[in-house]
C-alpha cells in the first residue's frame, strides 16, 4: 500500500489566516437552479504520451464530472491527492475562490512556482470543465466570451537530422503542404559541430552561422506561406543571445524563443531591447507575478505562458490582460494532451491579444485518439460550443496509453 498523500500533515495548511474555504468564508447560501453542487472526489491518471501527461478528474454529488490536465511530469498527482481534502464539500462554481484557497493552503509547499502551481492548474482546468457543464455553457463563456470562433495553432516541428538546414526546410515544407499548418517552430539549440564547451553558454561565430543557415533555409523555403519561430530553450549567454538575434534580423523570423535562462529578467530585457528580432519568453515563469516584470519592463515582444503550467485558465487570462496594457500579443506554449490543448484554445478565444497556441505532438499518431472529438483541422482549433471544454475522454485510449503502474480513474 502506497502513501496516502491526502493525509500528510502541514501546520501551514492546517492553520492559515487566509483559509478561504466556504465554511470559513461563510459561503453557505443556497443558490438554486441546479447550482447547489458539491465536490466529492478528485482523481488523476498519468498518460504516457510524448510527455507524461497528468489528467485530472473532479467528481460531484450531482454526478457531473469535470476533466482537466496539469503540466506534465512527476509530483503533480501526489500534490493533487494532497489537495483533495481542501476541495471536498466545496461548490465547484467558485473557481477563483477555490484556486486561491489552494494557493493559500499549499503556501508552505511552494505554491508561488513549480509543480505545486501546475498541480493547482490541473484542478483549475477541471473546474472550468465542470462549471461549464453545470451551467451548460462552454468554458470560454466563463472567461468573458469570445473574440474568435477558431484559434490558430503553430506546429512544433522536428526531424531526425535536426542540425541539417536542408532537412529542416524539407520538414517545414511537408508540414505546410501536407498537414496544412501556416505557423511553425523549429529548435535552434542543436549541435553545430563547432562547439568547444557545452557548459559556458557561449556561441562561437561558426555556431551562430550554423543557426543562421537553419533559419535562412526554413524561412526561404516556406516564404509567406507560413510564419516560423525558433526556440533556444534558455541555452545561451547574454552576449551570445544578442549576437544571434542580431544575425537573424535579416530573416523573416516570427520570434526567437527563450534565448537566455529564465531567472534574470534584467538580462532578458537587455537582450530583447538590443534587437529587432522579436523575442518570446514565458513558459518557465509562474503565475501573473512571475510574468509581470517581463511585461511591465518591456523585456519581451511576445509573452508565452503555458496555461496548465502557469496556473490555469483564469491565470492565463490575467496575464493576457496585463500584456494587453502594453500591446503585447500572447502565444501560448503548449506540450499537452488534447484536454489542455483545447482548454488553451478556450483561453485563446476569450482574449483579444491571442496570437496562437502550440501543438507539440504531430509525430504522435494517437494524440487525438485520447478524446472522441476532432481537435485540430488545417492548423486551427474550432472552439467547441458544448458545455465545459467540449472534449470527451476516450477511456479505452487513456487506459491503453497509461504510464506503467498507473491506475485508471473512475468513469463519469
CA dist 318 and 339 (Å) reads 21
Q: How far is CA 23 from the centre of its chain?
A: 32
What's the pLDDT at 14?
A: 73
Q: 61 burial class (0-12, 13-18, 19+ CB within 10 angstroms)?
A: exposed
What's the pLDDT at 317?
A: 98
SS3 150: strand
What's the pLDDT at 1?
A: 55
What's the pLDDT at 95?
A: 98
Q: 100 burial class (0-12, 13-18, 19+ CB within 10 angstroms)?
A: middle
SS3 229: strand
List CB contacts of 105: < 8 A, sequence separation 6 or more.
12, 13, 16, 19, 83, 86
CA-nearest of 382, 325, 388, 323 to 349 is 382
DSSP state of 19: -
pLDDT by residue, tens only, the chain of 412 residues: 588 988 888 777 777 778 899 999 999 999 999 999 999 999 999 999 999 999 999 999 999 999 999 999 999 999 999 999 999 999 999 999 999 999 999 998 888 999 999 999 999 999 999 999 999 999 999 999 999 999 999 999 999 999 999 999 999 999 999 999 999 999 999 999 999 998 999 999 999 999 999 999 999 999 999 999 999 999 999 999 999 999 999 999 999 999 999 999 999 999 999 999 999 999 999 999 999 999 999 999 999 999 999 999 999 999 999 999 999 999 999 999 999 999 999 999 999 999 999 999 999 999 999 999 999 999 999 999 999 999 999 999 999 999 999 999 998 8
User: Could you identify the residue written with the cell 484536454?
Assistant: 339
Q: 407 burial class (0-12, 13-18, 19+ CB within 10 angstroms)?
A: exposed
What's the pLDDT at 243?
A: 98
Q: 356 burial class (0-12, 13-18, 19+ CB within 10 angstroms)?
A: buried
What's the pLDDT at 7?
A: 87
What's the pLDDT at 16?
A: 73
Amino acid at each position: 500500500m502506497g502513501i496516502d498523500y491526502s493525509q500528510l500533515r502541514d501546520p501551514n495548511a492546517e492553520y492559515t489566516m487566509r483559509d478561504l474555504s466556504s465554511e470559513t468564508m461563510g459561503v453557505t447560501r443556497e443558490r438554486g437552479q441546479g447550482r447547489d453542487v458539491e465536490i466529492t472526489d478528485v482523481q488523476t491518471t498519468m498518460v504516457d504520451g510524448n510527455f507524461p501527461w497528468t489528467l485530472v478528474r473532479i467528481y460531484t454529488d450531482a454526478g457531473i464530472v469535470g476533466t482537466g490536465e496539469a503540466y506534465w511530469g512527476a509530483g503533480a498527482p501526489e500534490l493533487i491527492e494532497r489537495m483533495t481534502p481542501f476541495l471536498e464539500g466545496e461548490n465547484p462554481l467558485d473557481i477563483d475562490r477555490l484556486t486561491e484557497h489552494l494557493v493559500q493552503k499549499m503556501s508552505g509547499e511552494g505554491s508561488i512556482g513549480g509543480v505545486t502551481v501546475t498541480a493547482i492548474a490541473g484542478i483549475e482546468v477541471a473546474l472550468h470543465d465542470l462549471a461549464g457543464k453545470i451551467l451548460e455553457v462552454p468554458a470560454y463563456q466563463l472567461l468573458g466570451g469570445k473574440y474568435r470562433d477558431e484559434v490558430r495553432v503553430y506546429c512544433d516541428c522536428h526531424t531526425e537530422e535536426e542540425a541539417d538546414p536542408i532537412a529542416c526546410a524539407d520538414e517545414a515544407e511537408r508540414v505546410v503542404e501536407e498537414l496544412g499548418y501556416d505557423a511553425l517552430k523549429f529548435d535552434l539549440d542543436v549541435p553545430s559541430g563547432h562547439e568547444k564547451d557545452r557548459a559556458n553558454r557561449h556561441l562561437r561565430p561558426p555556431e551562430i552561422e550554423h543557426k543562421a543557415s537553419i533559419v535562412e533555409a526554413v524561412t526561404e523555403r516556406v516564404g509567406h506561406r507560413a510564419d516560423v519561430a525558433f526556440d533556444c530553450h534558455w541555452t545561451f549567454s547574454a552576449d551570445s543571445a544578442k549576437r544571434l538575434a542580431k544575425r537573424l534580423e535579416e530573416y523573416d523570423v516570427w520570434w526567437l524563443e527563450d534565448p537566455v535562462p529564465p531567472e534574470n529578467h534584467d538580462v532578458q530585457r537587455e537582450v530583447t531591447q538590443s534587437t529587432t528580432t522579436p523575442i518570446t519568453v514565458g513558459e518557465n515563469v509562474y503565475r501573473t507575478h512571475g510574468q509581470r516584470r517581463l511585461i511591465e519592463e518591456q523585456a519581451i515582444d511576445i509573452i508565452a505562458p503555458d496555461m496548465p503550467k502557469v496556473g490555469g485558465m483564469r491565470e492565463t487570462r490575467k496575464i493576457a490582460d496585463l500584456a494587453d496594457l502594453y500591446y503585447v500579443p500572447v502565444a501560448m506554449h503548449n506540450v499537452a494532451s488534447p484536454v489542455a490543448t483545447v482548454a488553451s484554445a478556450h483561453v485563446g478565444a476569450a482574449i483579444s491579444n491571442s496570437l496562437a497556441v502550440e501543438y507539440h505532438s504531430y509525430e504522435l499518431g494517437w494524440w487525438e485518439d485520447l478524446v472522441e472529438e476532432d481537435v485540430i483541422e488545417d492548423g486551427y482549433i474550432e472552439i467547441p460550443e458544448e458545455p465545459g471544454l467540449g472534449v470527451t475522454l476516450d477511456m479505452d485510449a487513456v487506459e491503453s496509453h497509461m504510464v506503467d503502474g498507473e491506475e485508471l480513474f473512475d468513469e463519469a
